[in-house]
Amino acid sequence: MKVSDILRLKGNTLYTVAPDTSVVTAVHIMAEHDIGSLLVMQYGELVGILTFREVIGTLAKSHGTLGAVKVGAVMDESPLICTPETALDEVRRMMLNQHARYLPVMEQQMLMGVISFYDVAKTVVEAQGFENSMLKAYIRDWPEESPQ
């Protein structure tokens, strides 16, 4: 299974902000759409990612207020990325090793989507459930041995 399989099931809705967007506005967008990350785009290129991790860090440093802080000041400027052809096992390893919860998906210079740890876990569970049901059906249909 590949990242492209996850994107196909997930859909292609992307939420983006510019680096000069206020973090307060970004938090409202994240809350409105029930998402944990925003891709940061400038002049049509991915320049970073803002996740709840950066928002919480900013809140901690500023004693609970976001003020006029801009996304560009707190975003992750070099997010871990993958391609549509990246194998799911590799994505799991990357996410676990780097403690990344969100991975932008890039094909050459084009942004194809973003996948989350939740998307990966859901896909794995669904695949295992499918395999499990196929194995149970196979066992159920196992031909009985004829007496010799």
Q: Which CATH number fits domain 3-140: 1.10.10.920, 3.10.580.10, 3.40.190.10, 3.40.50.10470?
A: 3.10.580.10
Give the SS3 label for residue 88.
helix
pLDDT tens digits, 33-63: 999 999 999 999 999 999 999 999 999 999 8
Domain ranges of the chain: 3-140
How far apart are the C-alpha atoms of 50 and 36, rounded to whole Å?
Answer: 8
pLDDT tens digits, 90-105: 999 999 999 999 999 9
Q: How distant, in Å, are the alpha carbons of 72, 121, 139 from that of 133?
A: 47, 18, 10
How far apart are the C-alpha atoms of 4 and 102, rounded to whole Å?
Answer: 15
How far apart are the C-alpha atoms of 54 and 78, rounded to whole Å?
Answer: 13
